[in-house]
Each structure stands twice: as C-alpha cells, then as structure tokens.
Structure 1
Amino acid sequence: MEVPVLATAARFTGVVHTLGVPARFRALRRYARTFPRRFHSEEKSPAAQKSPGSKGAAVFPRKVFSGIQPTGVPHLGNYFGAIRQWAELQDSGVECVFSVVDLHSITRPHYDPNVLRNNIEVMTATLLACGIDPEKSLLFLQSQVPEHGQLSWILSCLHTTARLQHFPQYKEKTAGLKEVPLGLYLYPVLQCADVLLYKATDVPVGHDQLPHIYLVQDAAEAFNKRFGTVFPRPEPLLVSGVAIQTP
C-alpha cells in the first residue's frame, strides 16, 4: 500500500497549491516507493575505499549511508545530531543515501500503525525542509525496499545469539519488558543490512553508536570471508558536539 509521504511532505513545507503536487515531490515519491538503484553506479570517487585483502581487492567509491527513525516530531537533537550533518555531506558532493527507517520503529511493542504512518510523513517533510534534496541525495522509505529484510536474514545466519545478547543497547531497550520481541533482538542485524546493502563506506554516528558500526564491520568481514569480497568495511563519521541517541 502506498504511503502518502509525497503529498503530506509538500503540504508541511508549504509548496502545495490548489493546482496539485509539484514535480519535485513526485520525484520524492518515486524514490520512496521503488528500489533505489543509484547505488549500483560504477563511478569511482577519488576517495574510494580499497577493501583489505589480496591483490586486486575490490575498490569501493566513497558513499555515505544514514537512517533516521520516524519516531514523532523531530527535535533539535535530531537536527544537530544528524540532519544538519546529512545536509552538509550532501552539499559537499559525496554520494549520500538517506533513509526513513520505519522497519526499526515496529520493533517497539504495541506501536500504533496509524501513528507510525503519520510520523513517516512528518519526518520526510522535516528532512525536505532542512535541506535534504532528492536531486542530490537518495532519500527513500526503508520498508519499500525488500532487500533490507532479505540481507538481514542472511546476515543473521552469520551472527551468534551470544554476540547480540551482549550488545550494549540490548539491555537498555529490553529493560522493563516482560516479553522481548524477536525484532528487537535482531535490530542490530537489520542495521547491518541497512548499511551494507548500499555498500556504504562511511556512516555518520555519535560515540554511543560506535558498537553498532563495529558490528557492521564484523558482518562485512564475515560475509566477505565466506562468499568473497562483496562489501566494503564501513567507517564511522563521528558527529561532533551532539551524540545521536537511538530511540
């Protein structure tokens, strides 16, 4: 079912008139609904990352991936901790892939689908209003790309329960829960898939998110060791001043 991100985003940013939705926002709907193929680009960046290994190892063009949960009305922490840096990276000319990661939001027990649907629209509108330009960056809705779930399943077969149980934020997220949803347990694996699916070389994070990046690095190395070099080893881009908190 199509999520009406386009029309609401345009309405929030004040560009919708009685004549209908502008072409710019029609383009956003296309990015949000279809599998983003721009990451297949073969263009090589001067800052390309060479995968460690033997001679002739794959060289990956520099690419940034970052996602944000649609958890409600964004606040200053979201802006200074993530969105502002997204806009700066986008305007620097680096290839950027940004996602509204709604699949992560449904790991919360008793989430309201109607509230989530509205939050997706609000978050998309906010990103547009703060300068994220679909003509410069790839902006899309995570749940519209089934490959996130497919890669997550493959990566989950390369992880151990012991590693996930000892993940720092697992205890925080499950505190007070009588029953822990399986999705919450596998949350970090889906994060790995989010990053690796686009062969991202850089991921903007706060210091509190470094364990997630280490897990992504381990996932890339485990996959490459088993199946051959497919993914780069993503590196963290530390956000200065404000830590990105995971809701």
Structure 2
Amino acid sequence: MENNKSPVILSGIRPTGEIHLGNYFGAIQYFVKLQEQGHQCFYFVADLHALTTAMEDHIDVDKNSVEVVRWYLACGLDSNKSTIYRQSDILEIPFFNLLLGMITPEGELRRCTTYKDKVADMEGKRKMVSLGLLAYPVLMASDILFCNADIVPVGEDQLQHLEIAREIARKYNHHFSKKHKFTEPRSHLVEAVRVPGLKGEGKMSKSVGGPDNVIYLNDAPKEIKRKVMAAQTDLGPVAGEPMTESMKGIYKLLELCAPKAVYEDYLGRYERAEQRFYGDLKKELAKNILELVEPIQQRYQSPDCSVERVKALLAESAAKVRPIAKTNLRNMLDDMNFKHLAQTYN
C-alpha cells in the first residue's frame, strides 16, 4: 500500500436502510466517478458503524450489507477497478479501534458537533446513546488508518471526524512509530448534493417524511409515478416572487435527473409565471427518474449482482484486504510493546 504511487481513496456507506436517490446522488455516483478516473479506490459497507443504532432501529445488518453491495454494483462500481468490502470482514479493524481509542482524548469526542446533534435527536426520541456513538470518530479513524488511506472524500459534516483521524495518526507517529507509520489522510471535500424529499420536508429521508418522501432505487415504476405525482407543490408561480421551497425541491430533482434542456425549459415556465403546467412537470420528472433507475434495476436483478455473487465477492475482498490490515496491525503491536502478540500475528 505505502509503496504504491497511486493514492488510496477510501469511503463507505452505513447499511441502515434501502438505497434511494439521496444515496445515489450524494455518494454512489461520486464513487463511480472516482473509480473511472483510475484511482485506487476502497469502498466498504460500514456495518460496524450501523451498530450505533441497529438495536434501536431493528436493523438486519447482515442482510442490509449484502443489499448495499448489490446496489453498489448495479450503480456502476466495478470490482475489477475498485476494492469493495465489508467492514466487519476485516477482523483487525476492531483491534485498531481499541488501540487508537487509547490515544484519543474523551473530551475531544464529546465536543464533536455531529455527536452533540445525534445525542439531542436520539434523546428526543428516547433512544439509547451508546459508547459506540461517542467513539464513532475512532472507528472511522480505524477504517482510514488500517490501510493508510491517502484521501477520504467527505462532506463538511465529516471534516471534524477526519481531523480527529489526522490527529490520532500524528499522535501515534510521535509516540510510537518505529516499524509502522500512519499516513495522515487528506480530505477531498465532496460538493454536497442535497437531494430533496418529495413531501417538502428537507432532504430525501424516510425518517424525515415517511416512505412517500423517498424514491428508492427498487421502487416499481407505478410506485415512482405515484410518489412523484403526489409530491408537494404550491398553488402556482407568482410573477416577481421567488420560487417556493416546495417547488425548489421539485426543480432540484428535475435538474439531477433530466437533460439540461428539459430542466431549463420548465425553469423558464416558472420564471414566466405560466400556470397549470405542474402536472406536465411531474410527469416529466417521473419519466426521467424511471429512465435513470430502470437500467440500475435491471443490473441489480442480473447474475452479476445476485446475493450469491455478492457473498462470493465479499469473501474474495476480505482475502485481499485482510493481509494489509494484518501487516499494519502486527507492526503497530510491535511499536506499542505488545511484542508477544505481534509475533503471533502472521
């Protein structure tokens, strides 16, 4: 890994539910773009991270993890170009997490903005706040550092976590590094693609506006049409008035899914304050969403994306990735004076 001239790019998705357009435009589409640029990409299913809410939300982590990889492949990730693996298959990662946690200040974790926001939300819903949620950045650091990833694509909300990973790497290198030295990962700020929901209630999320707020990649054509035609709108554009929030969501979806000319045509209609065209607008939006998801659904149903193929792929990927983790953990254990363990970790 460290001798490879090509930088290692690493990112992942938590398997907490069905994949929807928000996941596609917010992450997976970008993963495919990086892959096609010839980078050395490591994409994983963050199933250990899902445990922060799995008990409270009754998540079937194993089943969901396989489904995420099926959709990864259906959306264009290529196992011949990218390394696609499951976090929990790399048994060394929890050990990295334990060791790195010992050099991470607890106060720094409590100051994380995302942690404080999550706690407020979960306590409001009377959900348990676990130690795993507090230590989420340490596990994220373990995901990054176990393979010495060079670049981590993140949104602004994850920059604080990435900086913690950099600080952990610096602290380890200063106090322990002899056989092993961690690479300080660089951020690759992903332009935030905020995919709006259909109910005019913020981002596309089932937890925000229910299932009708979301277009899932596995939704049937009739279901997609029904959801789009039921999407929230206003009473019609008013000359000289700014676009309403509900219509901003409709137009953002159209911009993401439709050709530029189609988007600009309907935008012009709104700006000219034309009336009674929302029905046509929704039909056009539904049509373009279908044109986007139908090829993905066809690939999802193909043998290359079957459950059996994905399970075999995950086994192959674990066999490829674990030796990297073993080598780095062995050297790390030696550096931290657990030489008896290092000698047995081959």
Both proteins in one fold, TM over 0.5? yes
Choose 1 or 2 for highest CA Rg.
2
The aligned residue for residue 110 of structure 1 is 56
Q: Aligned equivalents of 1:142 and 1:72: distance in 2?
A: 17
Note closer, same or farther for the CA distance 1:210–1:41 as it changes in structure 2 (3 Å cut): closer
* Structural mapping, 1:66-85, within 5 Å: 66-85=11-30
Aligned pairs for 1:131-146 (under 5 A) are 131-146=76-91
1:231 aligns with 2:161: no
Q: Give the conservation status (yes or no) of the 8 Å contact 1:205–1:243.
A: no
Within 5 A, what are the aligned runs for 1:36-51?
Answer: 40=1, 42-45=3-6
Unaligned runs of 5+ in 2: 196-202, 208-346
In structure 2, what is the Cα distance between the partners aligned to 1:180 and 1:214? Answer: 23
- 2:38 corresponds, among 85, 93, 98, to 93
Give 1:198 deviation, angstroms: 1.1
Q: Deviations over 1:51-100 (max 9, x none)?
A: xxxxxxxxxxx110101101111122211221111111111111011100
The aligned amino acid for 1:123 is V
Q: Distance in 1 between matches of 2:189 and 2:171?
A: 24
Question: TM-score normalised to the size of structure 2?
Answer: 0.52
Superposition TM-score, scaled by structure 1 size: 0.72
Query: CA separation in 1, counterparts of 2:3 and 2:192?
Result: 35
Question: 2:258 — aligned with what?
Answer: none
- Structure with greater contact order relative to length (CA < 8 Å, sep ≥ 6): 1
C-alpha deviation, 1:169, in angstroms: 1.0
Separation in structure 2 between the aligned mates of residue 179 and residue 43 of structure 1, nearest angstrom = 43
The RMSD of aligned alpha carbons is 2.1
Give the Å deviation of 1:44.
Answer: 2.2
Q: Which runs of 5+ in 1 are unaligned?
A: 1-39, 46-61
Q: Percent sequence identity over matched residues?
A: 37
CA contact (8 A) 2:96 2:146 kept: yes
Q: Report the count of equivalent residues.
A: 190
Q: Which amino acid aligns with 2:11?
A: S
Write out the 4+ residue segments of structure 1 that deviate beyond 3 Å after TM superposition. none
Where 2:52 maps in the other structure, the secondary structure is: coil
Whose strand proportion is higher, 1 or 2? 1
2:63 alignment partner, SS class: helix
**AA paired with 1:230?**
K
